[in-house]
Amino acid sequence: MTPALEIHDLTVAFDRKPVLWNIDLMIPEGKLVGIIGPNGAGKSTLIKAMMGILPLSSGYVKIFDKPLDDIRDRISYVPQRESVDWDFPASVLDVVLMGRYSKLGLFKRPRKADRDAALECIKKVGMEGFINRQISQLSGGQQQRTFLARALAQQADMYFMDEPFAGVDAATEKAIVTLLRNMTAQNKTVIVVHHDLQSVSQYFDWVIMLNTRLVAAGPTATTFTSKNLETTYGGKLTLLTDVADLMRRENYPSREENIIQP
């Protein structure tokens, strides 16, 4: 199993107070990975530390067996929608073209090939009818699709996404999940900060369970367990009973499996 990402002894502290503590982690290539944990667990901090946006107090991160500085052009990031200035005067096409800048080099203007690549990515997220629309005039789901198209335009090998499903409608969420699955089918690695526990088993094939320290990481089927959920969330998990019931139901054969095939 080829590791796409390795973390050893990673600690991140703000004002000498650890936000993440002694994280050891390995993620294989081509996985759709969910990072889950309570508010304040360090989920967003973890992906920012993985990308080198935040300084490490200790430890190291390797991506594709290389230091971060050697492979930055193979990494893409979709930030939380709330952290973006949506009043910035730019059209959907302008934003998606930004994803091509790392391919252009210094002072080079986008070529026809870059524009064509951007248009193809816009089409993939279902935003072809909004190419010239200002981003401030888009709905939340449309804004999220636009940022996803920008990430796709980078043609990266590893994608970090901070709550891409937050504030989007059900149709957009379904479209994004389908897109992410298509990406991992092409051996891209996609790491997603996620908060909806009830969709974890359905969406992700690998899960990281976090609460300042690493509770568990591995294939969703064997890692996303009631015991690990209790350790991760403690008394904060109001949904624990619902999730446990859901998991028990998933252990039973589905109705389709009960149908005797002719």
Per-residue model confidence as pLDDT tens for the chain (262 residues): 669 999 999 999 988 888 999 999 999 999 999 999 999 999 999 999 999 999 999 999 999 999 988 998 899 999 888 778 888 889 999 999 999 887 666 557 778 889 999 999 999 999 999 999 999 999 988 999 999 999 999 999 999 999 999 888 888 899 999 999 999 999 999 999 999 999 999 999 999 999 999 999 999 999 999 999 999 998 655 555 555 555 555 554 433 334 333 3
User: Do 51 and 88 have their domain in common?
Assistant: no
Instruction: With both helix axes pointing from N to C terminus, report the angle between 170-185 and 140-153 in degrees, rounded to the nearest 10.
Output: 10
DSSP string, 17-74: EEEEEEEEEEEETT-EEEEE--TTSSHHHHHHHHTTSS--SEEEEEETTEEGGGSGGG
User: Do 132 and 165 have their domain in common?
Assistant: no
User: Do 226 and 181 have their domain in common?
Assistant: yes
User: Do 90 and 192 have their domain in common?
Assistant: no
Instruction: Please tell me the predicted confidence (pLDDT) of residue 251.
Output: 55
Q: Give me the phi and psi of 34, to 5 degrees please.
A: -105, 130
Tokens of 13: 């502290």
Tokens of 42: 């360090």
User: Do 149 and 217 have their domain in common?
Assistant: no
Burial class (CB in 10 A: 0-12, 13-18, 19+), 196: middle
DSSP annotation of 235 reads: G
C-alpha dist (Å) from residue 242 to 12, 98, 209, 220: 33, 42, 18, 18
Domain's final residue, options 121, 156, 191: 156
Instruction: Please report which helix (H) or strand (E) contains residue 220, including its range.
Output: helix 220-223
Domain's final residue, options 137, 156, 175: 156
This prediction's pTM: 0.86
Range(s) of the domain holding residue 169: 1-64+157-253
Tokens of 161: 């996404």
Instruction: Please tell me the predicted confidence (pLDDT) of residue 252.
Output: 45
Instruction: Please tell me the predicted confidence (pLDDT) of residue 258.
Output: 40
User: Do 121 and 151 have their domain in common?
Assistant: yes
Instruction: Please tell me the predicted confidence (pLDDT) of residue 168.
Output: 87
Sign of the CA dihedral with 134 first, then 136, 138, and 144 last? positive
Instruction: Please tell me the predicted confidence (pLDDT) of residue 242.
Output: 56
- 200 Cβ neighbours under 8 A, 6+ residues apart: 34, 36, 194, 207, 220, 224
- 130 Cβ neighbours under 8 A, 6+ residues apart: 92, 138, 142, 146
Residue located via tokens 């252990």: 251
